[in-house]
Structure 1
């Protein structure tokens, strides 16, 4: 089957980028002809040369991060012409995208070129402070119910809703209606958690949305480390792997680390706009000599850090974090915020603990890591269902 996978941005070493590159790689291995199309691309998305970006089709739609809402909307609309030409020339049997906004483009173009498209809702409008479509009349009726369902949404959603100027409000209503129609008309809708599956069933009336997620190649799973986990060391080695942005709550992690009583070290991997602020916060800590920022690292160094870690900590407001599942695949214990969808990791799954995103609760959880149930052989069946190969077969199935 000839397939195009469209993603707006392919510019950094992030979970979204790894998601598309690994899935496309696995779809190709199954014998399909797949090409990636993007609006913006940077060499960083190759993950230090791990992925070949030479055959990616880029429309080169540049957009200033300071652009206003209306200008962004018009820019995306204007940029559809290049995408239209690529789809027209490639004549794919199926298109896939991984965002609701990208789905708008495919929906509008499909009105003319008549193709099937599928959408991954990879992250939801309630997780990001900048997404104001949730306040539109299209989605407003479910706002309170969804906010109440996850603790982190109270940090990202302004209530009561902000007052928008007439032009922004009109544009937002139009974009929201296009989002609804784009998801409603998709051939299939996938999510990466049951939480977002439920949200999609409410706001887009797509009760048929399927959970379809992955984090590693089938060969990545370390059966020995999971079946015979090593004891927690002393001092305890804690690891965080995240982009340094507000929704990852690294500041909360640093504060909780300072409060914990266990002999421990914290290593933070990642870069981002909050890097300077977080380093300043760490420098004021009484445990500043035990907190290390490594910045961006290669996959090889990341794997070495995972092997040395006693526990990975993730406090992302999001419902799913690829790094969490990668750590579990290597037999590493993991502490996550209660925002993370743990529904798949129940019924005998061990080595994963969920805590409220609060300083005291996390500090207590860190102190209790030596008593935490270790990973076990029973984890393997769940992890086998989270491979790129499994996801690839699911998203292109008839």
Structure 2
């Protein structure tokens, strides 16, 4: 990439530490190029406040703030939940937001006639892959600028020093400098004391958790909720019809208040290293749990087991930035077929970080109490099981006889 040809750059802009210093850095290192900042609103709330003024003051020519929340929920979150996809127990909050934002970056870059797209992802992280693979899916020849792979800055400490030298206002300090990512689905925490897996997360410390409270601080009484699903999609909460986005936001409040959805893991990053993260996903934890309960009624054994198996593949694809691939689309189609009869109602009890089953109902239930009962019934002949066991165990019986004959231990 010839820097002389870069006259206009579209920057994925969050207003956080990385992207705050990238605007002046781009102008210093790419011939005072025009920088157009783009912020994808995926539900990060107050983080968007004052963003336009900040972007302009630090050198951007304009800022797009794009409301992507409905598309984020309907086209990314819900398909992933329906798939039951978890990456090492992580509910993929950052992972499936990146391809959506990247797609919008490309659309704006094309409309603006930009020469390149820039992101603030580090060379150690997963997001660089997610952004760049999505950009390649929609603009395969678009040059991509990744400052972390170019500049001499080596740490967040040095980033703060650069910001201070360029009079760039920051919302963080050296003491509160967790690396965070927030959207309407989750909040992640990395860095500082969390870099040592031996350190317990400070859940009770004021200001650490943002989407809820520690289970230790949750109420001493449970909260009951009821979720209605239609073909695997949440459509009502406590009998009130809502959009999936509205349900997630309400579940965030209910789950967060009860200390639900905290996850502390050391995960395997795509780039080969392990990292430690703490995640808040209160509404997501409830949705995953509720749909799984409904599936126990509505999916047969082989469908449920195959779905569980392929959920790992689905999660790997999402985590590794492979959203816009034929395989991910094919897996979503597979899931949609299995969800055709996953319609029903699930009741749950939320209590001090726990999600407890409190009832499940479906007109498509495959559970037949008349067959399953331990009492007398008229529909199941227990004598039939002898023939079943004889045929099911035939390979074992034959193998045992062959082993005995060939080892002389008849």
Normalising to structure 1: TM-score of the pair?
0.31
Point out the structure with max Rg over C-alpha: 2
Normalising to structure 2: TM-score of the pair?
0.31
